[in-house]
């Protein structure tokens, strides 16, 4: 795959962006929904699917298992009746953390699964003990061989049980919720995550015959009842709240007037209220967010940020909001409570001119406003990659963002949508 980069001419802090920008479907909802195809006796048809690298890689993972996958514009059709393999492709699995979603459905359907340690963005420790221990609790045996984990059930069926998660984990909640749909008896999951993507996935499974109670609460009860049926219906993936949040932060910094369409403001209430507290003028409807602003970002007040599980401030919006805080007046503290290495990107913002002091791996202090200068950057992960895009747009002069594969993993052709609202951004092939 040829390497590409973004070349951006910054706005020097001016408010020049205007127009409307569309939000695509949620990556974090689409990927587990695709994995759930293993739970169906018939095909699965998803709409409003973002055409991003992670969706393409998940499609490849499923295809390697013998699953029939068809990807069209904003839609994915999956037929899992022909599953032939239970070993996850090593190369693909190590490139994306979301491969973990497949483990539960494959094990629950086939009685065994083999997989390498999942990969993905380097943003701190993401141990899989929570998966291995609890699948054993559901009756699976564990073997480690040649760098792979092998889980097997004695009777081709997982057993319903009670599981308490020591930390709220989105991937663990999704994985065990799906596995429990095909397990024998009742499974109770406690201290589960509450993210909208989980609720949407659970409601989708229930509409196809699953018996999941407690969606939106911290305890789920799932009664295993055999394979599900979609009956050829089409299911729409919910809007991506993290993409919505990134566009909102960009608009707060650089837009005269920006309408964010096809979103759900209720899913990012914490960000909307945080920006309003800083002084940003935001109007919302059921499916849109509008910013109409004449003041410069330097007139906004600083705010402190502490990331937390939903409905708290999302860790995935921590990097973009930090760029916002470099432009506000006063001092802000950003406290990252979930991942210990997720503040490393701030070193690059400092090189752009930001006044950021790292207190420890979880906390930084940001003083503003400071003028950012364009420079060459390397996208370290999906969300910091978006933060670098925002910083480059705000900055004075010319910026280059390399390694945009990470940005493409989370955002569908984002440069085309940004160009429509006035951003001077180009996608070009890298020389190396």
Whether residue 311 has a cis bond before it, omega within 30° of 0: yes
Whole-angstrom Cα distance, residue 343 to residue 394? 20
* Residue 105 contacts residue 38 (beta carbons within 8 Å): yes
Write the CB contacts of 341 (distance below 8 Å, at least 6 apart in sequence): 122, 123, 124, 361
Report the relative pairing of strands 424-429 and 4-9 from DSSP bridges: antiparallel
- 121 is a catalytic site residue: yes
Report the relative pairing of strands 424-429 and 140-145 from DSSP bridges: unpaired
Which residue from 342, 367, 337, 369 is spatially nearest to 355, judged by alpha carbons? 367
Task: Name the packing angle between helices 382-394 and 318-325 (round to 10°).
Answer: 20
Helices (H) and strands (E) counted in the chain, each on its own, are: 14, 23
* Residue 15 contacts residue 252 (beta carbons within 8 Å): no
Catalytic residue among 121, 140, 208, 364: 121
Residue 49's alpha-carbon distances to 23, 201, 381, in angstroms, are 11, 14, 21
Whole-angstrom Cα distance, residue 103 to residue 188? 19
Q: How many CA atoms lie within 13 A of 404 on its CB side?
A: 27
- Nearest 5°: CA angle at 321, between 318 and 326? 125
Whole-angstrom Cα distance, residue 70 to residue 78? 7
Ramachandran category for residue 298: left, alpha or beta (phi over 0 → left; psi -120 to 50 → alpha): alpha
Catalytic residue numbers read 121
């Amino acid at each position: 795959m040829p390497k590409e980069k973004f070349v951006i001419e910054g706005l020097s802090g001016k408010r020049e962006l205007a127009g409307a920008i569309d939000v695509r479907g949620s990556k974090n909802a689409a990927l587990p929904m695709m994995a759930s195809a293993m739970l169906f006796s018939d095909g699965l048809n998803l709409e409003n699917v973002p055409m991003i690298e992670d969706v393409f890689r998940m499609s490849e993972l499923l295809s390697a298992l013998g699953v029939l996958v068809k990807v069209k514009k904003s839609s994915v059709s999956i037929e899992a009746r022909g599953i032939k393999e239970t070993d996850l492709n090593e190369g693909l699995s190590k490139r994306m953390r979301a491969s973990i979603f497949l483990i539960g459905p494959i094990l629950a359907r086939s009685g065994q699964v083999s997989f390498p340690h999942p990969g993905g963005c380097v943003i701190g420790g993401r141990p899989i003990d929570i998966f291995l221990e609890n699948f054993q609790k559901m009756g699976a045996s564990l073997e480690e061989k040649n760098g792979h984990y092998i889980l097997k059930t004695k009777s081709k069926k997982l057993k319903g049980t009670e599981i308490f998660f020591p930390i709220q984990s989105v991937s663990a909640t999704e994985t065990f919720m799906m596995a429990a749909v095909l397990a024998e008896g009742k499974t109770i999951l406690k201290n589960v995550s509450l993210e909208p993507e989980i609720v949407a996935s659970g409601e989708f499974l229930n509409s196809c015959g699953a018996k999941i109670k407690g969606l939106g609460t911290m305890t789920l009860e799932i009664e295993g009842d055999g394979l599900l049926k979609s009956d050829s219906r089409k299911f729409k993936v919910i809007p991506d709240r993290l993409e919505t949040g990134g566009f909102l932060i960009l608009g707060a910094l650089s837009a005269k007037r920006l309408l964010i369409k096809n979103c759900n403001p209720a899913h990012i209430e914490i960000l909307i209220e945080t920006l309003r507290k800083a002084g940003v003028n935001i109007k919302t409807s059921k499916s849109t967010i509008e910013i109409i602003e004449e003041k410069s970002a330097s007139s906004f007040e600083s705010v402190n940020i502490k990331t937390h599980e939903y409905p708290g401030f999302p860790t995935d919006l921590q990097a973009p909001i930090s760029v916002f805080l470099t432009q506000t007046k006063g001092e802000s503290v950003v406290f990252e409570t979930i991942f210990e290495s997720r503040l490393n990107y701030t070193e690059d913002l400092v090189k752009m001119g930001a006044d950021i002091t790292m207190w420890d791996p979880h906390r930084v202090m940001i003083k503003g406003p400071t003028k950012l200068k364009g420079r060459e950057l390397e996208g370290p992960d999906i969300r910091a990659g978006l933060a670098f895009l925002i910083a480059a747009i705000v900055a004075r002069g010319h910026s280059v963002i390399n390694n945009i594969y990470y940005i493409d993993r989370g955002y569908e052709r984002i440069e085309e949508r940004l160009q429509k609202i006035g951003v001077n951004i180009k996608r070009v092939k890298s020389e190396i």
